[in-house]
């Protein structure tokens, strides 16, 4: 048989599209050609495959070899196609049987001695293989990550020889079975602090509890040393437990960006804190073959932007669309990729260039014009999209020393999870994701609440977007209080979290 057909996967955003690997041998001068919009890493597989076959004691054919990666208009990248190409050559030359190849999908980079090296995006490819009904074969280093897709049948191998022995029936492989030890939510990871460690700042803790309960974005403004960064690092610890689907989507995103997923982070909310020198591409994602950026890597977790005005203004403006839609679209000449961006934004900033405006010691010497220019680095449209805007004041030393032990993150998370359950039972989504039509249905106000909100809109010059965000905030506050109806007190508290509108 001079033709062999195998299946693999190519990554396009979060999707892993099916790729048919066709290997054909023909008479003529020896040549090795790969067609099908292959990037440099794929074209270089010719040398890796030749050396791997020869060092594994297989015969490399002195014929004209043509490898077609279909569909031809889908860009192919990375060394994951080494394994199907090598097996296709062996099957086309009759060195291994070809009758079982169609039952599997293959991915793996070959070393020169025939060993298999791990590949990027194993989770996304395994999910695609599971939906197609085929088993997935990949390097042993990727097996535990791929096994997170519970409905998939996984086979792992360390070398090309091991897979050939499996196909020949001499040493059959068994499906990979793995158990994931789910981490305790109370066992904080390296980036998590406990709310009980923060002295004072009861209003900021209350605001973060509301943000966690409804999935709202937060901006904290205050002098240096008031605990803004520490409070932000407490947020993952008060967020509710991740569902299986959320954990799988988050893990798949980490796998796409980093090459693999650390199983120690399974079902842990991601916490991303890029430096203020980060570029727009670093936040959104990019490259010729689009990869996710910090916004997508924070999927179902927290994106923390410290020293917000120090970011380039053009970098901050890229946050507008994902905050509104929960999706990032990266367009390139060859392809267009969509990445989910359902993250919780937590930002922190100083009130002025020196940082001490409003400090109780009167340290600030900034002029009103300097303060206005500094705060003006954050555009109005971006600020309008941030649900909660609070001041984190500097506490007098006496108050800090007298501050009693506050609630732990576990206690707060208990209330947050109950509020989230109310939301999911009522509307199926978090309050921050409510559409305009859903706001009209689930955030109805009585006469007193409506009068209060109308007065606030006229006095604070609140936009239509801010109006809807206040309603969503009030809905979350009512859920935390266990109320079905939104009361005037809930609306009043929601309005006070629009401090930057004043």
- The CATH number of residue 218's host domain is 3.40.50.300
**What is the C-alpha to C-alpha distance for residues 442 and 434, in angstroms, rounded to an integer?**
9
Do 236 and 324 lie in one domain? The reply is: yes
Put the strands of the sheet holding 64-70 in their side by side order. Answer: 3-12, 15-26, 64-70, 31-35
Q: What is the pLDDT of residue 456?
A: 87
Residue 176 domain-assigned?
Answer: no
* Tens-place pLDDT, residues 121-178: 899 899 889 989 999 999 999 999 999 998 899 999 999 999 999 999 999 999 998 7
Is residue 62 domain-shared with residue 154, that is, in the same domain? yes
- What the block records as the tokens of 380 is 């109005």
Q: Is the dihedral of CA 186, 189, 191, 196 positive or negative?
A: positive
Task: Kindly state whether residues 214 and 256 are assigned to the same domain.
Answer: yes
Q: Please say which residue of 168, 183, 209 terminates a domain.
A: 168
Q: Are strands 109-110 and 104-106 parallel, antiparallel or unpaired?
A: unpaired
Pair (386, 459) in one structural domain: no
Residues in a beta bridge with 70: 20
Q: Are residues 96 and 35 in the same domain?
A: yes
Q: Does 381 reside within a domain? A: yes
- Residue 249 to residues 43, 200, 343, 359, Cα–Cα distance (Å): 31, 36, 12, 43
Backbone angles phi, psi at 501, to 5 degrees: -75, -15
Q: What is the pLDDT of residue 294?
A: 93
Cite the beta strand spans of 73-221 per DSSP E. 104-106, 109-110, 116-117, 135-139, 154-157, 218-221
Q: 288: which DSSP letter? A: T
Q: Are residues 120 and 244 in the same domain?
A: no
Contact 168, 174 (CB under 8 A): no
CB atoms under 10 Å from CB of 287, counted, come to 11
User: Is residue 398 one of the residues assigned to a domain?
Assistant: yes
Residue 395, φ and ψ in degrees, nearest 5: -90, 140
**272: Cα separation from own chain's centroid:** 9
Q: Do 118 and 205 have their domain in common?
A: no
* Residue 435 CB-half CA count within 13 A: 5
Q: Are residues 149 and 59 in the same domain?
A: yes
Mode of pairing for the β-strands spanning 327-331 and 336-340: antiparallel
Q: How many CA atoms lie within 13 A of 286 on its CB side?
A: 8
pLDDT of residue 181: 58
Angle formed at CA 200 by CA 197 and CA 205, multiple of 5 degrees: 80
Contact 42, 289 (CB under 8 A): no
Print the domain residue range for 148. 3-168
Distance (Å, whole) CA 78 – CA 499? 49
- pLDDT value, residue 188: 41
What CA–CA distance (Å, rounded) separates 180 from 12?
28
- Determine the pLDDT at residue 325: 87
Q: What is the pLDDT of residue 182?
A: 52
| Residues 212 and 160 grouped into a single domain | no
Q: What is the pLDDT of residue 186?
A: 41
pLDDT of the residue at 403: 61
Predicted TM-score (pTM) of this structure: 0.86
User: What was the pLDDT predicted at 43?
Assistant: 93
Mean pLDDT by 10 residues, the chain (502 residues): 91 87 94 93 94 95 95 89 96 93 95 94 90 93 91 94 94 84 46 78 93 95 91 94 90 84 88 93 82 91 95 92 87 77 94 86 87 91 92 78 76 95 93 93 92 88 89 95 93 87 50
Q: Quick one: CA torsion of 384, 385, 387, 393, rounded to 10 degrees? A: -60
385 and 439 share a domain? no
In a domain, residue 424? The reply is no
Q: What is the pLDDT of residue 12?
A: 81
Please count the structural domains in the chain: 3
Domain-located, residue 135: yes
Instruction: State residue 190's pLDDT score.
Output: 42
Same domain, 18 and 158: yes
Distance between CA 403 and CA 380 in Å, rounded?
A: 36
Please, what is the Cα angle at 204 between 439 and 346, to 5 degrees? 65
Residue 187's pLDDT is what? Answer: 40
> In this structure, is residue 422 part of a structural domain?
no
Annotate 200-233 with DSSP letters as a single string. S-HHHHHHHHHHHHHT--EEEE--TTSSHHHHHH
Q: Are residues 370 and 221 in the same domain?
A: yes
Of 370, 391, 406, the position where a domain reaches its end is: 406
The length of the chain in residues reads 502
In a domain, 205, yes or no: yes
Q: In sequence order, what are the beta bridge partners of 5?
A: 22
Q: Residue 354, exposed/middle/buried by CB under 10 A (0-12, 13-18, 19+)?
A: middle
In the prediction, which pLDDT does 337 show?
Answer: 80
How is residue 158 written in tokens? 């360390």
In angstroms, rounded to a whole number, what is the distance separating the alpha carbons of residues 23 and 85?
Answer: 7
Domain with residue 116: its CATH number is 3.30.230.10
Q: Identify whether 497 is part of a domain.
A: yes
């Amino acid at each position: 048989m001079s033709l062999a057909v195998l299946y693999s996967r190519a990554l396009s955003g979060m999707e892993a599209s099916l790729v048919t690997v066709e290997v054909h041998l023909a008479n003529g001068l020896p040549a090795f050609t790969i067609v099908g919009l292959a990037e440099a890493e794929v074209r270089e597989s010719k040398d890796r495959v030749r050396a791997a076959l020869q060092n594994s004691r297989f015969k490399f054919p002195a014929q004209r070899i043509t490898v077609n990666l279909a569909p031809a208009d889908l860009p192919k990248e990375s060394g994951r196609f080494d394994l199907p190409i090598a097996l296709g050559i062996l099957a086309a030359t009759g060195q291994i049987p070809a009758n079982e190849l169609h039952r599997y999908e293959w991915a793996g980079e070959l070393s020169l001695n025939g060993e298999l090296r791990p590949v990027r995006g194993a989770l996304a490819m395994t999910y695609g293989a599971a939906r197609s009904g085929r088993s997935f074969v990949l390097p042993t280093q990727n097996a535990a990550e791929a096994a997170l897709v519970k409905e998939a049948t996984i086979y792992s191998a360390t070398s090309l020889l091991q897979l050939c022995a499996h196909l020949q029936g001499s040493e059959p492989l068994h499906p990979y079975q793995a158990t994931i030890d789910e981490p305790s939510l109370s066992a904080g990871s390296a980036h998590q602090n406990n709310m009980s460690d923060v002295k004072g700042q009861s209003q900021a803790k209350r605001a973060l509890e509301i943000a966690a309960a409804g999935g709202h974005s937060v901006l904290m403004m205050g002098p240096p040393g008031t605990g803004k960064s520490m409070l932000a690092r407490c947020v993952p610890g008060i967020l509710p437990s991740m569902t299986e689907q959320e954990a799988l989507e988050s893990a798949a995103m980490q796998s796409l960006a980093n090459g693999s997923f650390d199983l120690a982070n399974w079902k842990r909310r991601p916490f991303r804190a890029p430096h203020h020198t980060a570029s727009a591409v670093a936040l959104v994602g990019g490259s010729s073959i689009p990869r996710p950026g910090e916004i997508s890597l924070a999927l179902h977790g927290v994106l923390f932007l410290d020293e917000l005005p120090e970011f380039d203004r053009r970098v901050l403006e890229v946050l507008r669309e994902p905050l509104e839609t929960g999706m990032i679209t990266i367009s390139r000449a060859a392809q267009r990729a969509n990445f989910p961006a359902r993250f919780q934004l937590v930002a922190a900033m100083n009130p002025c260039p020196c940082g001490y405006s409003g400090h109780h010691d009167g340290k600030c010497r900034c002029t009103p014009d300097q303060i206005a220019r500094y705060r003006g680095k954050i555009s109005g449209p971006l600020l309008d999209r941030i649900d909660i805007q609070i001041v984190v004041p500097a506490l007098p030393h006496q108050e800090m020393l007298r501050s009693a032990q506050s609630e732990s993150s576990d206690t707060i998370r208990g209330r947050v999870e109950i509020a989230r359950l109310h939301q999911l039972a009522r509307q199926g989504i978090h309050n921050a994701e409510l559409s305009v039509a859903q706001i009209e249905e689930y955030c109805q106000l009585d006469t007193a609440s409506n009068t209060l909100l109308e007065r606030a809109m006229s006095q604070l010059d609140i936009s239509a977007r801010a109006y809807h965000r206040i309603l969503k905030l009030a809905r979350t506050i009512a859920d935390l209080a266990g109320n079905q109806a939104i009361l005037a007190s809930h609306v009043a508290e929601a309005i006070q979290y629009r401090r930057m509108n004043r």
